[in-house]
Structure 1
Amino acid sequence: MPASPPSISSSDDKGAMSHHDVAPPLLEKNAESGSFADSEKATTGAGALGDAAIPDNVLAEYSEEQVAQMGRAFARKYELPNEDDIFARAAVLARSPEHYDHMSLLTEEERLACYDEQYHPLRNMPPKLIAIICAAAMGAAVQGMDETVINGAQLFYPKVMSLGEETQRNDWLKGLINGAPYLCCAGVSCFMTDFLNNWLGRKRVIFWTCVISAVTCLLQAFAPTGTRGWHYLFAMRFLLGLGIGPKSATVSIYLAECSTKKLRGIICMNWQAFTAFGIMWGYVFSLIFYRVGSGAVHGGLNWRLMLASAMIPAVLVLFQIPYCPESPRWLMGKGRYREAYESTVQIRPHRLLACRDLFYQHVLLLEEESLDKPYIKRLGELFTVRRNRNAMLAAFICAFMQQFCAINIIAYYSSAIFLQSGFSEISSLCSSLGFGLINFFFAIPAFFMIDRFGRRFLLLSTFPAMALFLFVTGFAFWIPDQQTRVGIVSMGIYVFSAIYSFGCGVVPFVVAGEVFPLYVRAIGASFFTIVLWGFNFILSVTWPRMLNALHPQGAFGFYAGWNIVGWFLVYFLLPETKQLTLEELDEVFDVPLRKRISYQFLELWPNFQEYVLRRKNVIRQPPLGRHHRLAVKNAEWNDKAEVEQVENI
């Protein structure tokens, strides 16, 4: 049960003030005495650990006085507004955020803000944070709409581009056209993500990639007919990948860096939830334009309008993103602390919480390697430093399994699949719309589950069910009665989509945005998208040929098997990341893989007892990770000295 709102007039809080009062300086020690370096040269034995400090907090080994001095010095060094000694109070709160109710130095208003953040994190969400979420959501919808407008358009454009005949060559060419954006993402655009993020920042990358998406979606509608048509359409869709690749990596980072740890899962999953929203609207526009006549347009107008309609959410982003604040973490990485402060204030419900987060992020970021390292060195450390390598493996598993769980072959080819099972063209589009509706609306429960149950739990609980219903869908094609076959195929696809939506649908982009340390975050996210879009391209190209070679039974069975493999990959190799700050995840991902695999193997029987046999009081091993990082042990608070960490896994 949540705690009651803090009682300000309690006799235990003798120093408590009303919200009309101004909080006095926390300590009598003069904030101006000593330099910034002097105030930061405290060693771990210099102060007693306060009773309220949290052992896992990197500031817990310092006294309140030391932490308050750090906060004052931080504000002084970076010329941040420190009215009413707010950075000293914020630093003490950062040291022990769960014990705000016992801090008489906070005003009533500040303590209530802490209470709401702890127990009602969705209450009083700042308008600028909502604006960021909305802009990111529309950016995701661009990708989703493209996936499904091409689904509807491929019922028409092959006939006017000499691809209508069912031949092996035409199967490959249709797959190549469908997968062209993702070929560009994997081969070209995702490699630009780190450079673009360092140069432009998060929100400018999103803006310019949406410009590219809007223009290329529009240009697809002007494809000529005949054999030249597929060359033009392939080229335009390839250029569309210049918009999709960097945006897909950057939006996840942007959302993760602007959210709090309590809301990070809910906020970051907006990417996939609104990709599903775009998928749904892609089917809607396909149906709207299905019966549009050719008019004076040679080759038909309906499929051209379908392809062009994907520009709508991109245009909406162009009007939204200029009014959003930049990522505070990116600004801190550039040394622009005053701007980072102003940005953080806009995305937190109270200025004290903004000061707390800014200070704590700064302390933790000091432990990371320098953000000014050359790209090649940071790229190398993505694979040679164990903490980064394990994060890369976790992101790879999520990216790989999101593709090989088979969702996108249904998104791209659902109309063709329904046609093959016995539907008419219009019925197949209507059935595909049902798939899109389910994909979006069943993502909604994940908003309430992802931070409560965790990312790992959602994946482990959905992979077996997805495998089962892929088998059901594939084997249904052996049923001779058409009405029965159509019903079971539809049921299998719909249930599979519903299960996917709150599991493998929402988790990967959340994980990609949160697992990497700041200095390699853009590079790591770009590699995540390279893997994601690379396998997306492979699936979209190979599916038409696989369907003809293995028939639906073998093709769906193949991907059902991969869902089973995915369960084991997640169980042994993917740690839980919920309710931790982006920086505290360093400890989680620094555990050697062999140790993690051994630990999870020994946990198989306890997990079976607890989750299958429903037994209570199951004896378990101690947790693997404890957050005992020593972020501020450096006497000068300079960046941590470089240490070679090329460990064997």
Structure 2
Amino acid sequence: MGQKIDTCSITSNPSTPSGEEKQRSTPPKEKKFRWRVTDEHSPPEIYNWTLYLSVFVFGILGSARGYDEGNIAGTVAQISFIKEFGLNSKLLSATQQANLKSNITSMVQLGSIGGCIIAMYTVDRFGRIRTLQGVCILWIIGAIIQCTSHSVGQLYAGRVIEGLAIGQTTTIGPTYLSEVSPKAIRGLCSCIFAGAVYFGIMLAYFANYGTALHVVGRNQWVIPTTVKCYLAFLILVGSTIFCVESPRWNMKVGNSEMAAKNLSKIRHLPVDHPYILSEIADINEQVSSEKELTQGSTVISMLKEIVMTKSIRYPFFAIATLAQILGQWSGANAITIYSPQLMSLVGITGIKSLEMTAVLGVVKFVSAYLAAFFLIDFLGRRRSLYIGVTIQMVTILYFAIFLTIVPQAAVKGSVLTPSQNMAGKAALAALFLSGTGWTMGFNSIQYLLGSELFPLRVRSFAQSIVMVVHFANQYGNSKAIPKMLLAMDNFGAFYFFVGVLVVSLFWVYFLIPEVSGRSLESTEEIFSLPWYLVGRRGAELCPDHSEVNRVNYNVDGTGNAHGGDIDYVTKPSTEFIEDTRKEELVRNNP
């Protein structure tokens, strides 16, 4: 038996298939243009309501983070909140007022860093569902503390506790969704979580706008804050009734029988179906090899593996971490959290600014799910990023130019010429379109790539660290933006964001591989390539050779298993493999 080569390869000159295999093969169909992903190689049963309900519950978890961002953006602009917590106190300088506002808004991000660290342990120790349920309870406690606050100290405490819950959601949701989703729609399912962030933002914007119009006094900000309790309770109930635990987590903790049963439930196929057997075989192969590598593993050893193992180091530092840094400093977070303040820079103030933030919430929500359903799997990760980053860059550049040329628009009571008024409306539209670019680009991949690029043995651990980076940057960003707007004459901050987005385009071209349509177990191979090939040719040089990729669904009934609907393609007896690292042909005789 020849030695197995664990490297990326290009298969060439495969042995001629037997007559039986020729009979089973079907002629290739003419490709048609479709604005959706079609999976003609998997049993149709795998797309079912058990899967959809599980995806919905874990996906809507993204609204936890989104609702808080949208809620606090409007809350700090509510007159009753400003008076109660002294945001406009004459005893404070402009810098001190900015600090107080940024402290209130950023406390959830600070708590979320701790939540991500906690998730390194809880998600693997208790499973995806049990951890989710614990997080919902913690989320409710944090919201109640905020609603009953009469002092800044208690408000801080409630927001930190809420952050401990929200930080864990960013590991739980993406990890579960990537593990249960069929590979053809893994991007779509993971983007349900990313899109739910903007469902939460939109809901919060409308709650703030509604109470600003119809409620007076303290309840102006208390009522929107209580919505967090209802969201948490509904997700808690949904996880109890509808969700099936991740088969990959079952396998990881040694419960292979439950893994097969849960996978059977999610896929709506018998436990002994070839598709189930193939997927279980892929998971089991990875888990078995990883157990040998991780026996007696500790936090230190996993950190060491992230740093020392190339196939983990590359996606961690060059992709997942940079996605968080570049994404958080691209300006999108500033526009979300400080949208009422930014609206005032183009002359929109008061209740009208809250109305416009509600419109911004709708734009981001709709564009997030349009990207999830029609772009991320159809166009792929790289093209979606290119389009999103380019839209975001162009629109933020226009907004910066407007602030440079018409600075008087930010001065209350100033009179603008008709052309300046039109330019101001275009600047407002640019803010909205920048949100569209963000949801198509960085927002679609900031949770997705981290959950699908890491091997199972470090997936939740690495994803938790990545989200620590996420919230650390978001915390720094939310603290820095008020000061940047003061120190850089408003427009300077937006030119900085444009510079970050220019760098992001080069980052996508060289470093981001296309992994749409691949099994989770096959993505690690790509990172054995030289760094300059990973983004440009990674998918081409490292095709997906997983077992589940060899199972084909035939609508014409020419298969040979389970009533003739499955065709299990066997490996050719001989393969010629090109080792891209040594640039020589090696003959592999299995």
**TM-score between the two structures when normalised by the length of structure 2:** 0.80
User: Structure 1 residue 550: deviation in Å?
Assistant: 1.1
- Whether the aligned pair in 1 keeps the contact of 2:107 and 2:163 (CA below 8 Å) is yes
Describe the superposition over 1:95-137 as per-residue Cα deviations: whole angstroms up to 9, x where unpaired: x9xx99559xxxxxxxxxxxx8536888762222112111113
1:332 maps onto 2:269 in alignment: no
**SS at the partner of 2:443?**
coil
* Distance in 2 between residues matched to 1:522 and 1:349, nearest whole Å: 26
**Aligned pair 1:427/2:352, yes or no?**
yes
Q: Paired residue for 2:61, among 139, 143, 151?
A: 139
Q: What SS is found at the alignment partner of 1:162? A: coil
Query: Which of 309, 316, 337 matches 1:392?
Result: 316
591 and 213 in structure 1: CA distance in 2 versus 1, 3 angstrom threshold: same
Aligned equivalents of 2:64 and 2:132: distance in 1?
12
Distance in 2, Cα, partners of 1:342 & 1:121:
17
Check conservation: 2:59, 2:190, Cα contact below 8 A. Answer: no
**1:450 is aligned to 2:388:** no
Residue 142 of structure 1 contacts residue 311 of structure 1 at CA under 8 Å; is this kept in 2? no
| Aligned counterparts of 2:487 and 2:221: Cα–Cα separation in 1 | 28
The 1:344/1:629 distance shift into structure 2, 3 A limit, reads closer
Residues 74-473 of structure 1 aligned to structure 2 (within 5 Å): 102=25, 117-118=39-40, 125-156=47-78, 157-165=81-89, 167-186=94-113, 188-224=114-150, 229-294=151-216, 300-323=218-241, 324-351=243-270, 352=273, 353-370=275-292, 371-372=294-295, 373-393=297-317, 394-446=319-371, 447-473=373-399
* Cα separation, 2, equivalents of 1:100 and 1:473: 61
1:313/1:381 CA distance change after superposition, 3 Å: same
Alignment pair present for 1:504 and 2:426: no
Residue 625 of structure 1, aligned match among 534, 542, 564: 542
Q: Would the aligned equivalents of 1:439 and 1:501 in 2 still touch at CA under 8 Å?
A: yes
Unaligned runs of 5+ in 2: 27-37, 409-415, 548-580, 582-590
- Equivalent residues of 2:367, 2:436 under 8 A apart: yes
What is the CA distance between 1:45 and its match in structure 2? 8.7
Secondary structure of 2:436's counterpart equals helix
In structure 2, what residue type is equivalent to 1:215?
I
Higher relative contact order at CA 8 Å, sep ≥6: structure 1 or structure 2? 2
The answer as to whether partners of 2:339 and 2:357 remain within 8 angstroms in 1 is yes
Letter in 2 for 1:465: I
Q: Distance in 2 between matches of 1:622 and 1:288?
A: 49
Structure 2 counterpart SS, 1:575: coil
Output the amino acid matched with 1:430: E
Given that 2:387 and 2:437 are in contact with CA atoms closer than 8 Å, whether structure 1 keeps it comes out as no
What is the letter of the counterpart of residue 625 of structure 1? C
Match of 2:413 in 1: none
Q: In the TM superposition, what is the alpha-carbon distance from 1:556 to its structure 2 partner?
A: 1.2
CA contact (8 A) 1:140 1:272 kept: yes
**Counterpart secondary structure, 1:262:** helix
Alignment: residue pair count:
505
Counterpart of 2:83, as a letter, is K
Return 487-496 or 161-170, whichever deviates more: 161-170
The alignment status of 1:596 with 2:518, answered yes or no, reads no
* Code of the aligned partner of 1:180: M
What amino acid is the match of 2:321? F
Matches within 5 A, 1:549-564: 549-564=487-502
Report the secondary structure of 2:290's partner residue. coil
2:474 maps to amino acid? N
**Which residue in the other structure is 2:457 paired with?**
519
Moved more, 148-157 or 164-173: 164-173
User: Aligned partner of 2:254: which letter?
Assistant: G
1:387 aligned partner, one-letter code: S
CA contact (8 A) 1:139 1:210 kept: no
Aligned partners of 1:291, 1:146: CA distance in 2, in Å? 20
Alpha-carbon spacing, 1:628–1:356, altered in 2? closer, same or farther (3 Å): closer
| Alignment-derived partner of residue 113 in structure 1 | none
| Greater mean deviation of Cα atoms: 234-243 or 373-382 | 373-382
In the TM superposition, what is the alpha-carbon distance from 1:183 to its structure 2 partner?
A: 1.2
In 1: Cα distance, 2:3 partner to 2:430 partner: 62
8 Å contact from structure 1 (residues 390, 590) kept in 2 = no
Alignment TM-score, normalising by the size of structure 1:
0.73
Aligned counterpart in structure 1 of residue 478 of structure 2, from 524, 533, 540: 540
Identity %: 23
- Contact 2:192/2:369 (CA < 8 Å) preserved in 1? no
Change (3 A) 1:56 1:357: farther
Q: Give, in angstroms, the shift of residue 291 of structure 1.
A: 3.1
Give me the whole-angstrom Cα distance separating, in 1, the residues matched to 2:259 and 2:443. Answer: 32
- Corresponding residue for residue 585 of structure 1: 523
> Max radius of gyration: which structure?
1
The CA distance in 2 between the partners of 1:289 and 1:122, in whole Å, is 46
Deviations 1:188-242 (A, max 9, x none): 2211212112221111111111211122123211111xxxx22221221111111
Q: How far apart in 2 are the matches of 1:385 and 1:545?
A: 40
Closer, same or farther: CA 333–182 of 1 in aligned 2, 3 Å:
same
Confirm or deny: 8 A CA contact 1:327 1:340 kept in the other structure.
yes
| Residues 459/518 of structure 1: CA separation in 2 closer, same or farther (3 Å cut) | same
Q: 1:261·1:579 contact (CA, 8 Å) conserved in 2?
A: yes
More displaced, 350-359 or 527-536? Answer: 350-359
* CA shift in 2, pair 1:416/1:252, >3 Å: same
Q: Deviations over 1:527-561 (max 9, x none)?
A: 11011111111111111111111122111111111
Indicate the RMSD between aligned Cα atoms, in angstroms.
3.0
CA–CA separation in structure 1 for the residues paired with 2:193 and 2:263: 21
The aligned amino acid for 1:575 is: P
Tell me, what secondary structure is at the counterpart of 2:250?
A: helix
Q: Is the 8 Å Cα contact of residues 202 and 362 (structure 2) preserved in structure 1?
A: yes
- Shift, 1:56, TM fit: 7.7
Alignment of 1:30-49 (within 5 A): 43=1
Shift of the alpha carbon at 1:339?
0.7
**Partner of 1:70 in structure 2?**
none
Letter of the 2:63 counterpart: A
Deviation sequence 1:56-86 (CA, Å, 0-9, x none)? 89xx99x99xxxxxxxxxxxxxxxxxxxxxx
Q: Which amino acid aligns with 2:523?
A: L
2:421 pairs with 1:483: yes
3-state SS of paired residue (1:506)? helix
